[in-house]
């Protein structure tokens, strides 16, 4: 196997651990907890795992633990550092007792149900230390939601003598981990379940989980690229670069990248929703900045656009929902729509059956985008929002707006565009020092939670803006982060998603600076992630967490 | 001004110089030279600058040179390291004589003609050391081809006391630099002209110019991203990623990135042209690999596609040329075409007026791509090849092919695609150590060529796979690299473009390995450019130059 020079050198990196986890721990229990909302319902649903105390680990006397067999699952989308969580678990359980064993379930939660697994030996682990990707055992999107699945899990874990399962995933996967913990406790299986907070989206965080892993590395990769594009923009002075960034439901990625690179325009989905901004208003805002910069002779710029934006624009949300109904698989209107061979006629037909409001929105869209809404639907006939080229939609609409403005003398300049989408470029990058250390610590810490017999907890490592030695490790009951939300028509207990809040320090920093950044060219060029070199360059956490914790 | 931690630390980097340039030089003249072809014509066109000897600098006794005012121009597309060439010139002419001055002409060659310039003082230079971009003085695509332009240049250079002009550019710009050198010599202006080899495309190289600057950094950035995407592909096991790479006329970028990352498919334009491959053959080749991998249960992969590919496919070249004629601005057929409001009817019309062969190709294209060929034309009515989404064209055609194969049982798998285009992400990256050193040396070396009174030379730094201390610095007469080629209907003396040669060591390495890489997943993950750390990671030249020089 060929490996790159960087892989070969990086394999030698020993991730840093908090002082408290260096050898043995003393478990300190905090107060009993309650869920962030809907306490009565959640308590009723989680009689065995509700209300448990917060746990902090302090450095303790050397303790004897029995050997423990542990299973691990990677759930959902890739995030940098997953392999380090697993190597942290491996080293952690071996530290607890060298006879301990680690099993990886293959291809995500489905591997548990299908009894597809592999033993993760030292040889395997060593190959994956400090690398990106989830390829060590693969990931998957099967949801563990049914008791039949849980029982299949019990079966294989009993067979392998697995005493604890660690699920590495986002908010949904950790919610399901907790449901599973509750079920296994209720059934007296003796199997513990521990969660680990993963997602590049940054929307799994709260007072006890300061950030999800992968967010640091992914936003650094995107910021490297945005900075490079900014430098190109200001060198060539020829294009507006419209950059779409991965992340459907929250705009933390866009916000963090904006703080790192100071682009001219940053759209935040949550702000659009809260202020009920229309597509027209967004386009006016963008065109206004293009025109102002043009007036200063600067016919170039960079705009950051969150992937999920259109779902936050009220009128688009309604349009998409109407289209989902009207073009539902097998409906009469869908059959009729399918009968058109000409796209133009197809669009005219759709415009005719939409509500007046939605028809207005629909016909205002560039035809290519209108077609993406109706032609590229999923097997259920739903609009595939992730396929909508929001960056091109906005680019074309801004162009039309500028044409109008030119006619009345409000725009005197040129407007050329380049489009980018950054997503897959960052999800599997090799983890930054921060993510390498954080992930390893999360995994190592999880092994102590297991040794101490805990279940229904999420591995928690806090105080992340301090040096790793001073990080605070412990566990947070998953129920503490839950509230009740409507999902697919039913009220369900779920971990509250952390959206960008307009009164948060990171957003306020953007809001206070964006007018200046819009007009003056204030680009910052973060450059590529560095693993060796000055600590200011190599070991900085995100701007988001730095600002959040400085408050 | 906010600058990133990396910018701030990287500003302190002192680029390495060859030992021979450390303080003073001894000029060693080699044999007289001749052009690579068409010697008689070129000699006639360049009576003053033809046949000059190769120059090598050796370390020499401290010499007194008079102060010299120098002008510098950045020409054409951005490439990492341009700022280091300029800081090398600055330090070089100050070393020669502290009273020397450097002027930058703004916005490319047009700045010389329009008398738009700035003095580059130590303060300005220090701000730009080791940074990416061309924003220190900007660049531009004005071509210096007319004597009126040359004379405007003389005017401002006389005014500023400029004795020598350095043009940093690609093959065309260096050709023009030589024409200018010849003109200034013939006119006895006393102004010297020196060229510097720049282009990320890697197509300006020969025995004396081992690589153009920027190629190293740009291909490393693209390889970082390709590696990340590869790791995502093999983790998610869900998508084929079709990645288009910048570079219109040569496939060096794609080849270098392939050697670094070992993707499943690498298309090389030069091979397509030489073997007269049709679009259908290319699609069959790609679909064949997809099917073979699917048979092994691997419904994922990565394909690299050079930006200029379609212009190298013989049938597409003909189609594009027919479309340029038929839809030429103001022609009758163009008027008729414009009258269609329905794209479907427009395409039917176009298919009707093309030759039978081209109509067949045109109607085989996905409709979105066919529209790109006819709707997005430049002001002269020409097809804009750079706007053709070749990666989507191939993706959609491979999909159609696989559908056919599925029907007859030749493909049993899934085929989902993600598309990427990497170009602007790499052109303005901060230079790698290699490019930082190489560019600085090129600039520093140019100042000695000037001090020694040379004109019509390109700055040359060779032996680049050795440590910088052992690099060989000197000058190559530009006429030596020239031949006569037809350009816009006239025979012109131009620097011969270096295309990918099928008997070159880098291509042969690809050819020997690509079948294995296609089927086995042999991805390599180079990771981001590192500036500090182990020399194996930080200071490696490209695979291309390493293989070329190992022969």
3-class DSSP string for A316-362: HHHHHHHHHHHCCCCCHHHHHHHCCCCHHHHHHHHHHHCCHHHHHHH
Look at residue A368 and tell me whether its pLDDT is greater than 90. Answer: no
Q: Which of A133, A343, A524 sits opposite B2 (nearest CB)?
A: A524
Instruction: State the average pLDDT for chain A.
Output: 95
Q: Which two tokens stand for residue B99?
A: 């009273």
Neighbours of B509 (CB within 10 A): 16
Q: What percent of chain B has pLDDT over 90?
A: 88
Enumerate the residues of chain A whose CB falls inside 8 A of the CB of residue B386. Answer: none
Look at residue B482 and tell me whether its pLDDT is greater than 90. Answer: yes
ipTM comes to 0.96
Q: Whole-angstrom distance between the N-terminal and C-terminal Cα of chain B?
A: 48
**What confidence tens digit (pLDDT) does each residue in A210-242 have?**
999 999 999 999 999 999 999 999 999 999 999
CATH of A308-388, one of 3.30.43.10, 2.102.10.10, 1.10.357.10, 1.10.10.480: 1.10.10.480
Instruction: State whether CATH 3.90.1150.10 applies to domain B34-214+431-487.
Output: no
Of A501-515, B284-298, B339-353, the poorest mean pLDDT is in B339-353
Rounded distance, CA B136 to CA B124, Å? 8
DSSP B470: G
Enumerate the residues of chain A whose CB falls inside 8 A of the CB of residue B436. Answer: none
**Per-position b or e across B310-337, b if 16+ CB within 10 A of its CB:** bbbbebbeebbebbbebbeeeeeebeeb
- Of all residues in chain B, the one with the smallest CA distance to A130 is B527
- Of all residues in chain A, the one with the smallest CA distance to B12 is A534
Residue A360 marked ligand-binding: no
> Any idea of the CA torsion for A322, A326, A328, A333, to the nearest 10 degrees?
-170
Catalytic residue annotation of B: 201
**What confidence tens digit (pLDDT) does each residue in A270-285 have?**
999 999 999 999 999 9
A448: left (phi over 0), alpha (psi -120 to 50) or beta: alpha
Instruction: State the average pLDDT for chain B.
Output: 95
Name the pairing type of β-strands A457-462 and A472-477.
antiparallel
Angle at A232 between CA A227 and CA A233, to 5 degrees: 95
Rounded distance, CA B257 to CA B252, Å? 8
Of all residues in chain B, what percent are helix, strand and coil, respectively (each to 5)?
45, 15, 35
User: Average of pLDDT values for B8-36?
Assistant: 96
Nearest chain B Cα distance for residue A88, angstroms: 20
Q: Is B512 an interface residue toward A (CB < 8 Å)? A: no
Catalytic residue annotation of A: 201
Look at residue A551 and tell me whether its pLDDT is greater than 70. Answer: no
Neighbours of B209 (CB within 10 A): 23
Q: Which of B132, B241, B531 sits opposite A228 (nearest CB)?
A: B132
Q: Which of A28, A194, A21 is nearest to A92 (CA)?
A: A21
The strand pairing partners of A458, in sequence order, are A195, A476
Q: Which two tokens stand for residue A354?
A: 């939409």
Cα B311 off chain centre by: 17
Inspect the interface and report whether the beta carbons of B418 and A425 lie closer than 8 Å: no
Q: Is B236 an interface residue toward A (CB < 8 Å)? A: yes
Q: Count of A–B CB contacts within 8 Å?
A: 195
Inspect the interface and report whether the beta carbons of A525 and B4 lie closer than 8 Å: yes
**What confidence tens digit (pLDDT) does each residue in A159-213 have?**
999 999 999 999 999 999 999 999 999 999 999 999 999 999 999 999 899 999 9
H-run or E-run covering B492: strand B490-495
Rounded distance, CA A266 to CA A263, Å? 7
Cα A183 off chain centre by: 27
User: Average of pLDDT values for B236-258?
Assistant: 95
User: Average of pLDDT values for B142-171?
Assistant: 96
Rounded distance, CA A477 to CA A68, Å? 22
Q: What percent of chain B has pLDDT over 70?
A: 100
Say what the pLDDT of residue A71 is.
98
Inspect the interface and report whether the beta carbons of A536 and B9 lie closer than 8 Å: yes
Q: Where exactly are the structural domains of chain A?
A: 34-214+431-487, 222-307+389-428+511-551, 308-388
Residue A531 marked ligand-binding: no
Identical fold, A34-214+431-487 and A222-307+389-428+511-551: yes
Per-position DSSP letters for B109-157, written without gaps between them: THHHHTT-EEE--HHHHHHHTT--SSTTT--B-----SHHHHHHHHHHH
Say what the pLDDT of residue B551 is.
65
DSSP A48: T
Say what the pLDDT of residue B367 is.
85
Q: Which of B46, B53, B55, B16 is nearest to B32 (CA)?
A: B53
CA distances from B167 to A253, B73, B131, B462 (A): 41, 5, 19, 19
Q: Which of B348, B398, B400 is nearest to B374 (CA)?
A: B348
Look at residue B376 and tell me whether its pLDDT is greater than 80. Answer: no
Q: Which of A77, A428, A531 sits opposite B530 (nearest CB)?
A: A531
Rounded distance, CA B495 to CA B171, Å? 6
Rounded distance, CA B333 to CA B335, Å? 5
User: Average of pLDDT values for A410-420?
Assistant: 97
Rounded distance, CA B450 to CA B88, Å? 13
DSSP A309: G
Q: Are B180 and B165 in contact (CB under 8 A)?
A: yes
Rounded distance, CA A249 to CA A208, Å? 21
Place of tokens 């945005």: A226
User: Average of pLDDT values for A469-475?
Assistant: 98
Q: Indicate which of A1, A3, A5 best probes the interface with B, i.e. most B CBs within 10 Å of its own CB.
A: A5
Place of tokens 């006393």: B190
Rounded distance, CA B4 to CA A224, Å? 11
Nearest chain A Cα distance for residue B77, angstroms: 8
- Provide the CB-side half-sphere exposure for A109 (13 A, CA): 23
Neighbours of A116 (CB within 10 A): 16
**What confidence tens digit (pLDDT) does each residue in B169-200 have?**
999 999 999 999 999 999 999 999 999 999 99
Neighbours of A242 (CB within 10 A): 26
Nearest chain A Cα distance for residue B532, angstroms: 5
User: Average of pLDDT values for B385-402?
Assistant: 92
Q: What percent of chain A has pLDDT over 90?
A: 88
- Of all residues in chain B, the one with the smallest CA distance to A241 is B424
Rounded distance, CA B431 to CA B129, Å? 10
Q: Provide φ and ψ at A478, rounded to 5°.
A: -60, -35
Q: Is B248 an interface residue toward A (CB < 8 Å)? A: no
Angle at B490 between CA B486 and CA B496, to 5 degrees: 35
Q: Which two tokens stand for residue A469?
A: 């030695």
DSSP B469: G
Calculate Rg over the CA atoms of chain A.
25
Going A5 to A7 to A13 to A18, the CA torsion angle's sign is: positive
pLDDT band for position B207 (cuts 50, 70, 90): confident
Q: Which two tokens stand for residue A97?
A: 């007792």
Q: Are A253 and A235 in contact (CB under 8 A)?
A: no
Locate all alpha helices (DSSP H) within B11-121, ordered by sequence.
39-45, 82-96, 110-113
User: Average of pLDDT values for A32-54?
Assistant: 97
Q: Are B256 and B200 in contact (CB under 8 A)?
A: no
What homologous superfamily is domain B222-307+389-428+511-551 in, according to CATH? Phosphofructokinase domain (3.40.50.460)
Look at residue A384 and tell me whether its pLDDT is greater than 70. Answer: yes
Q: Is A8 an interface residue toward B (CB < 8 Å)? A: yes
Residue A404 marked ligand-binding: no
H-run or E-run covering B291: helix B279-295
User: Average of pLDDT values for B112-133?
Assistant: 98
Say what the pLDDT of residue B330 is.
81
pLDDT band for position B423 (cuts 50, 70, 90): very high
The strand pairing partners of A74, in sequence order, are A168
Q: Provide φ and ψ at A196, rounded to 5°.
A: -130, 130
Q: Is B535 an interface residue toward A (CB < 8 Å)? A: no
Q: Whole-angstrom distance between the N-terminal and C-terminal Cα of chain A?
A: 48
Residue B239 marked ligand-binding: yes
């Amino acid at each position: 196997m060929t490996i790159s020079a960087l892989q070969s050198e990086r394999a030698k990196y020993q991730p840093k651990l908090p002082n408290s986890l260096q050898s043995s721990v003393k478990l300190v229990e905090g107060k009993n907890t309650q869920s962030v909302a809907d306490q009565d319902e959640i308590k009723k649903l989680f009689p065995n795992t509700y209300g448990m105390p917060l746990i902090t680990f302090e450095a303790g006397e050397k303790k004897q633990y029995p050997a423990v067999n542990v299973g691990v699952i990677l759930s959902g989308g890739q995030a940098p550092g997953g392999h380090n969580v697993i190597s942290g678990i491996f080293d952690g359980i071996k530290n607890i007792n060298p006879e301990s064993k680690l099993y990886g379930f293959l291809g995500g939660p489905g591997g548990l149900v299908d009894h597809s697994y592999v033993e993760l030996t030292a040889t395997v682990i060593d190959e994956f230390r400090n690398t990106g990707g989830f390829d060590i055992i693969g990931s998957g999107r099967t949801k563990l939601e049914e008791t039949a699945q849980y029982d299949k899990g019990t079966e294989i874990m009993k067979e392998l003598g697995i005493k604890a399962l660690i699920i590495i995933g986002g908010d949904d996967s950790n919610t399901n981990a907790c449901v599973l913990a509750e079920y296994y406790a209720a059934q007296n299986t003796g199997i513990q379940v521990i969660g680990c907070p993963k997602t590049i989206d940054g929307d799994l965080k709260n007072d006890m989980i300061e950030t999800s892993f992968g967010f640091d590395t992914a936003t650094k990769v995107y910021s490297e690229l945005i900075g490079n594009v900014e430098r190109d923009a200001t060198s060539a002075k020829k294009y507006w670069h419209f950059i779409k960034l991965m992340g459907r439901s929250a705009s933390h990625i866009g916000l963090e990248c904006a703080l790192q690179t100071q682009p001219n325009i940053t759209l935040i989905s949550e702000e659009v929703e809260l202020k009920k901004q229309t597509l027209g208003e967004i386009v006016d805002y963008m065109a206004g900045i293009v025109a102002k910069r043009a007036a200063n002779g600067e016919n170039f710029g960079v705009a950051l656009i969150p992937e999920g934006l259109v779902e936050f624009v009220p009128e688009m949300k309604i349009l998409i929902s109407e289209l989902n109904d009207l073009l539902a698989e097998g409906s009469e209107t869908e059959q009729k729509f399918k009968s058109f061979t000409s796209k133009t006629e197809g669009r005219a037909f759709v415009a005719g059956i939409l509500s007046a409001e939605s028809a207005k929105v629909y016909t205002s869209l560039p035809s290519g985008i209108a077609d993406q809404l109706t032609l590229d639907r999923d097997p259920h006939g739903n609009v595939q929002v992730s396929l909508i080229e929001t960056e091109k939609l906005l680019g074309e609409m801004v162009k039309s707006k500028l044409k109008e403005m030119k006619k009345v003398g409000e725009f005197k300049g040129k407007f050329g565009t380049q489009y980018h989408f950054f997503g897959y470029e960052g999800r599997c990058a090799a983890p930054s020092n921060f993510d390498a250390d954080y992930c390893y610590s999360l995994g190592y810490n999880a092994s102590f939670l297991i040794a101490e017999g805990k279940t229904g907890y999420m591995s928690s490592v806090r105080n992340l803006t301090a040096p790793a030695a001073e990080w605070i490790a412990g566990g947070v009951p998953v129920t503490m982060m839950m509230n009740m939300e409507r999902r697919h028509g039913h009220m369900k207990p779920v971990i509250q998603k952390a959206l960008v809040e307009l009164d948060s320090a990171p957003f306020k920093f953007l809001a206070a600076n964006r007018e200046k950044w819009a007009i003056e060219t204030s680009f910052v060029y973060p450059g590529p992630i560095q693993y060796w070199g000055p600590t200011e360059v190599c070991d900085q956490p995100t701007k988001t967490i730095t600002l959040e914790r400085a408050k």
